[in-house]
Structure 1
Amino acid sequence: MHKLIVLYPHPADPEAFASYYEGTHLPLAAKLPGMLAWRYTLDVHAAAGDSPYFAIFEADFPDARTLGAALESPEGQAVSADVPNYAPPGTIVLDYEVKGG
């Protein structure tokens, strides 16, 4: 399995971020071809102190090739093009192969 994670720092206007993210961006992301599952939270806490992140998005793909094809697809291009409309500076996108028991 391959995972895509997006870490969003605290936005200037949390309510506007949440409204746009849930109403516009997530419906676009949900259309990524080959995606097995996705989840997100707007309620991130740190083990100690304040969390540097406001929101986290996770998506599961069967493998890196499927993720790459999804990001290059028209749906993936629409998702990427939408990011500047809401994402705060410092947003981090990670992907990795999942290993473990």
Structure 2
Amino acid sequence: MDKLIVLYPEPEDRQAFEAYYRGTHLPLCAQLPGVLDISFSIGLENAPYFALFEATFADRASLESALASPEGRAVEADVPNYASGGATVFTATDESLPLP
């Protein structure tokens, strides 16, 4: 599994960020082709970021294809509409530790 991860620093207006993010941006993210799962946290505590987003894809090719799609470009173009502090975007390949 591969993930798209986005970290958001403190916005100028927390309420405006959250309202737009939940009402407009997340529905756009849900349209990404090949996305298997989306999780997010808003109002992180004891962290240098305000919010965290993760979208899971079957593999790197699926993730890259989603980002290059019209839906992916729409998601990227929407970020300045709510993230006054910008965003840090990166990808990662999941690994897991089997538990006894």
TM-score, length of structure 2 as denominator length: 0.91
Q: Does the alignment pair 1:2 with 2:2?
A: yes
Identity across the alignment (%): 54
User: Secondary structure of the residue that 1:4 maps to in structure 2?
Assistant: strand
**Counterpart for residue 97 of structure 1:** 93
**Counterpart for residue 17 of structure 1:** 17
Shift of 1:90: 4.4
**Counterpart for residue 81 of structure 1:** 77
Q: Does the alignment pair 1:65 with 2:61?
A: yes
Query: Is the CA contact 2:32–2:71 (under 8 Å) kept in the aligned structure 1?
Result: yes
**Counterpart for residue 42 of structure 2:** 42
Shift of 1:88: 2.7
Query: Is the CA contact 1:3–1:98 (under 8 Å) kept in the aligned structure 2?
Result: yes
Aligned-residue CA RMSD (Å):
1.1
CA distance in 2, matches of 1:89, 1:19: 16
Query: Is the CA contact 1:9–1:54 (under 8 Å) kept in the aligned structure 2?
Result: yes
Shift of 1:89: 2.8
CA distance in 2, matches of 1:81, 1:90: 12
Shift of 1:80: 0.8
Query: Is the CA contact 1:42–1:54 (under 8 Å) kept in the aligned structure 2?
Result: yes
Equivalent residue pairs, number: 97
Shift of 1:100: 2.7
Q: Runs of 4 or more off by more than 4 Å in structure 1?
A: none
Q: Deviations 1:39-73 (Å, cap 9, x if unpaired)?
A: 11113122xxxx21111111110111100000111
Specify the code of the residue in structure 1 equivalent to 2:94. V
